[in-house]
Amino acid sequence: MGETVMEIRHRPVMPEEVMTLAAADGLVVDGTTGEGGHSELFLERFPGCRLMCLDADAEIQKKAKERLAVWGDRVRFVRGWFDEVFADWQGERPRVVLLDLGISVYHFEESGRGFSFRGDEPLDMRLDGSAGESAAEAVNSWSEAELARVIWTYGEEPLSRRIARRLVEARQVERIETAKQLADRIWEAVPPAKRHGRIHPATKTFQALRIAVNGELDRLERVLGAAFRVLEPGGRFCVITFHSLEDRAVKTFFREVSKACICGPEIARCQCGGKPLAQDLTRHPVVPGDEEVELNPPSRSAKLRAIRKLRETRRDA
């Protein structure tokens, strides 16, 4: 029998690769639990592990709680932004930290918060709807230059300026309050010859606004150091990214902690201690195979990187 709409559920990306790189007993922190796909795999595969399941979004966390209830006290849930949870960490240190960035199929299909250009829904896009500026507030108040910058930087949209100009023009006539209104204004901004490409012309702008509204890149920059500090020596840190800026941030951080010496060229003799803080487990990012991409098209832009923490400081044994 085919999958009905009710049964659509986010498929964990690169399940086998993640389970191989992050195999562990002890405490596993799933920093982006979503509906709990990766968490469930850890619980099934590694009987000695316990899960701490974080998510910024209370609604999707309810779904994960229902799904993972059968695992009893091997699982506990914390609602919050991962960068803030790791910055305030107290207590047992994890053996594994997994971050699978971005949003879930649930957000596009069911949340009703305007993540998809296909839905006629209020334009909100916040993961934590209790705080911060919504996407509607952003598109109705940011300057044209700021909109163009965000759409270009986080969406890599070559028509960012045209789109920003059209949004600013349109909002003077009528506020942009729904995802459909936004998608229609973007459609109008795009030259007719470019409206029927491989992806819908609104795809990149919607992605850019979501990243901006949730502060996704700033949070990623902050969580890398914070989670690495909290991780127990010997523990593993795995990150799945979906955007070149995210991947660059992870690659840079992982390279830095995996270097033996960080003294500058002006220092004649190493003073930092000379020992790497981590071992890079994926010199090149791991990407999904053709079969996975066919089965789960949203996985196509995923990149997985992983390190093993070796020590707290470059002088430790």
Ligand X SMILES: C[S@@+](CC[C@H](N)C(=O)[O-])C[C@H]1O[C@@H](n2cnc3c(N)ncnc32)[C@H](O)[C@@H]1O
Contact set with ligand X (CB under 6 A): 10, 12, 32, 34-38, 54-57, 60, 81-82, 100, 102-104, 127, 219
- Cα angle for residues 92, 95, 99 (degrees, 5° grid): 105
**Tally of residues, the chain:** 317
- Please give the structure tokens belonging to residue 311: 């020590």
CB burial readout 164-197, b (16+ within 10 A) else e: bebbbebbeeeebbbbbbbbebbbebbeeeeeee
Q: How far is the CB of 92 from ligand X (least distance, A)?
A: 20
- Comparison of 115 and 176: residue with beta carbon closer to ligand X: 115
- Comparison of 34 and 288: residue with beta carbon closer to ligand X: 34
Closest residue to ligand X: CB criterion: 37
- Comparison of 51 and 170: residue with beta carbon closer to ligand X: 51
- Please give the structure tokens belonging to residue 204: 């990149």
The CA radius of gyration of the chain, in Å to the nearest whole number, is 21
Q: How far is the CB of 291 from ligand X (least distance, A)?
A: 18
Asked if 128 and 266 touch (Cβ cutoff 8 Å), the reply is no
- Comparison of 105 and 262: residue with beta carbon closer to ligand X: 105
C-alpha to C-alpha distance for 270 and 89, rounded to whole angstroms: 32
C-alpha to C-alpha distance for 302 and 219, rounded to whole angstroms: 19
Q: How far is the CB of 40 from ligand X (least distance, A)?
A: 8
Q: How far is the CB of 199 from ligand X (least distance, A)?
A: 19
- Comparison of 244 and 271: residue with beta carbon closer to ligand X: 244
Q: How far is the CB of 192 from ligand X (least distance, A)?
A: 34
Q: How far is the CB of 72 from ligand X (least distance, A)?
A: 20
Q: How far is the CB of 159 from ligand X (least distance, A)?
A: 27
C-alpha to C-alpha distance for 113 and 115, rounded to whole angstroms: 6
- Comparison of 100 and 124: residue with beta carbon closer to ligand X: 100
C-alpha to C-alpha distance for 281 and 279, rounded to whole angstroms: 6
Q: How far is the CB of 299 from ligand X (least distance, A)?
A: 10
- For tokens 């702008």, what's the residue? 205
- Comparison of 180 and 219: residue with beta carbon closer to ligand X: 219
- Comparison of 127 and 186: residue with beta carbon closer to ligand X: 127
